[in-house]
Amino acid sequence: MIIEFDNDTKTRLDLFIAQHLSYNRSKIAKCIESGFVLVNNKIQKTSYKLKKQDKIEVLLDKIESFLNPSKTLVPYDFSLNIVFEDDSLAVINKPKNLLVHPTKFDDNKTLVNALIYRYGNNLTTLGGIMRPGIVHRLDKNTAGLMMIAKTDAAYKNLACQIREKKAKRKYLAIALGQFNQKEGIIDKPLVHYINNNVKMTIAENNEGLSALTCYKVIDQYKGAALVELELKTGRTHQIRAHLASINHPVFGDSLYKAKSFLRNEFYNLKTQEQLLQSYYLSFNHPITNEVLEFQLKENDFSEDFIKVLNFLRSKNINEH
């Protein structure tokens, strides 16, 4: 995997790779020292400060074999919601409560295991031997559209479209609070929160990874809003951390302190964590170059999302 560093901030190599791959920083440091990460075709120290236009080569297969020496992927008989597919790729509607790839929390009932059950070895492993077919990720409790690459050519092309911001990814969130500004851009770099390997926070002192999210309020209700968000970068928990940073956490997101924002009338609305929906994808087909566009209808959203949205509408608390 080749990554071109596009940030003006001087970020440490080990920090950048750990955040990009969602691995423990100390483990990534060992991989860098072992020569599994190259910068401009050279082995660098873990403390190397990345510069704009540095080309980083990540030897994913070696990293994953090193970090997960005994793991094998077990097929998982799970019914996937296929929105589109051909010989090169597939687009799926991922449900809530499904991890994308094996982790220490679940190593055999993930989307990757379901893909192995359906496609066997007919998936590219350029994204890593433990992540066949995966071009981009969604959090466990974020539902919606994802691209799956079947071939190496498709993976390279789709990953390039994401990296060069040619692919469009839009989300809908039910965010808490009253928005004074109907649309805007959140441009705040992200870093892991202290020693937490999961939670992200806004970076200080020019550290962290650049992150850019555009948002637009679709409907404002009393105490919550339906918000469309477009990712310009794809960092871990980007939307969730960004919305929390402007005091509008995603409904149900306990990791980013959504509970402290809940109004009394919402207390009986139980959801399985965050109400975040990947509802729109647009990209060029990697072989034909045809523009492919996918948008979920509301009845294809997660049950939690539909339930809360209907509640807000039925109470007639719209404040236009």
What is the DSSP code string of 105-162? S-SSSSHHHHHHHHHTT-S--TT-TTSTTBSS---TT-EEEEEEE-SHHHHHHHHHHH
Coil, helix or strand at residue 28 = helix
Coil, helix or strand at residue 314 = helix
**Nearest Cα residue to 145 out of 198, 107, 90, 78:** 90
CA-CA distance, 68 to 319, in Å (whole number)? 52
Q: Is 255 left (phi over 0), alpha (psi -120 to 50) or beta?
A: alpha
Active site residue 139: yes
**Nearest Cα residue to 112 out of 129, 87, 89:** 129
CA-CA distance, 320 to 318, in Å (whole number)? 6
Is the Cα dihedral 81, 250, 112, 58 positive or negative?
positive
CA-CA distance, 34 to 28, in Å (whole number)? 10
Please pick, among 139, 152, 187, 253, the residue that the annotation labels catalytic.
139
**Amino acid letter, 50:** L
Is the Cα dihedral 247, 250, 255, 257 positive or negative?
positive
Catalytically annotated residues = 139
